[in-house]
């Protein structure tokens, strides 16, 4: 089956999908995006993704291009046309097409809406069982990381640095020596005293949808989550570390900058949290969470 994309009201072959050269997302990174997991043909945490999408649009003063019923309809049609049971759906909204000029274009310029969907392979059992490596890098991003902007160049550079180091992810460190988040993930540790810690929400990090769902699931299972900043030194001496994301779910980190985290193997708290999240994804109610 050939892939299909949605571009500004039309379903088109993926290979022919295009936006205008003066789309502000292309020229200014003036737009936002969302990536949602598809499990069993259902979009996981769909409403939470729409909540974040609308918040990001509001922060950038980009009009909401259509209501949620229309977005749901298009998303389901994309899943159907692409024959996806397990995969990802990507949605991007920019300020639209206008003559190149830094200020916003005149009122009435319609936002551009693009959507793609694809199948993805399940994470290997070996990756989950053995864990992954992470490195640390300086956080060089702008001051509004809470907006899911398409302006991702610092994240791209950091992810490439991780790949070149043979690592899965790079955790970013702010000027105070505190861990913010990964280039495409949220960062977590389990301290020597058993606290499960992730950085509190602010302009410094993106409010991950998987992060929020895992926090809710953990608290329902009587696992206390502590939201606070933690230092690189605290991460290096943690019993366990792990990441969360739409694409990674819950993955143990077993080395940081080449040194083992804890005993260098996935820990029991991370394993329990992953089990909770995977059970959640398998639940039909997860699509409406």
Nearest of 136, 139, 160, 130 to residue 267 by alpha carbon: 130
Residue in this structure with the two tokens 């993955």, named with its chain if needed: 251
Ordered DSSP codes for 143-212: S-TTS-BS--HHHHHHHHHHHHTT-SEEEEE-TTSBEEEESSSEEEEE-TT--EEEPPPSTTS---HHHH
Catalytic residues: 148
Coil, helix or strand at residue 37: strand
Residue 80's Cβ-side half-sphere holds a number of Cα atoms within 13 Å equal to 7
What is the number of H-type helices and E-type strands within the chain?
A: 8, 15
Residue 271's Cβ-side half-sphere holds a number of Cα atoms within 13 Å equal to 9
Nearest of 232, 272, 270 to residue 131 by alpha carbon: 270
Ordered DSSP codes for 225-259: EEE---BHHHHHT-SEEEEEETTTEEEEEEEETTE
Contact between 251 and 187 (Cβ < 8 Å): no
Measure the CA–CA gap between 40 and 20, rounded to whole angstroms: 34
158-175 burial by CB neighbour count: b if 16+ within 10 A, else e? Answer: bbeebeeeebbbbbbbbe
């Amino acid at each position: 089956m050939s892939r299909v994309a949605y571009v500004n009201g039309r379903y088109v072959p993926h290979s022919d999908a295009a936006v205008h050269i003066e789309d502000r997302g292309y020229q200014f990174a003036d737009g936002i995006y969302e990536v949602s997991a598809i499990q069993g043909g259902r979009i996981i945490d769909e409403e939470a993704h729409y909540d974040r999408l609308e918040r990001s649009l509001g922060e950038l003063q980009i009009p909401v291009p259509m209501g949620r019923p229309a977005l749901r309809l298009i998303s389901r049609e994309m899943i159907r046309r692409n024959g996806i049971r397990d995969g990802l759906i990507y949605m991007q909204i920019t300020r639209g097409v206008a003559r190149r000029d830094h200020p916003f274009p005149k009122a009435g310029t319609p936002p551009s809406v693009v959507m793609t969907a694809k199948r993805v392979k399940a994470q290997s059992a070996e990756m989950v069982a053995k864990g992954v490596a992470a490195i640390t890098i300086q956080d060089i991003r702008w001051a509004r990381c809470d907006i899911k902007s398409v302006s991702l160049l610092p994240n791209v550079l950091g992810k490439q640095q991780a790949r070149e180091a043979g690592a899965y992810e790079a955790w970013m460190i702010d000027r105070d020596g505190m861990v913010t988040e990964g280039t495409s993930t949220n960062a977590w540790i389990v301290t020597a005293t058993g606290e499960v810690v992730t950085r509190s929400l602010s302009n410094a990090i993106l409010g991950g949808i998987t992060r929020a769902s895992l926090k809710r699931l953990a608290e329902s299972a009587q696992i206390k989550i502590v939201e606070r900043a933690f230092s690189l030194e605290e991460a290096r001496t943690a019993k366990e570390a792990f990441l969360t994301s739409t694409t990674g779910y819950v993955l143990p980190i077993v080395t940081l900058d080449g040194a083992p985290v804890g005993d260098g193997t996935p820990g029991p708290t991370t394993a329990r949290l992953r089990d909770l999240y995977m059970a959640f994804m398998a639940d039909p109610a997860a699509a409406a969470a």
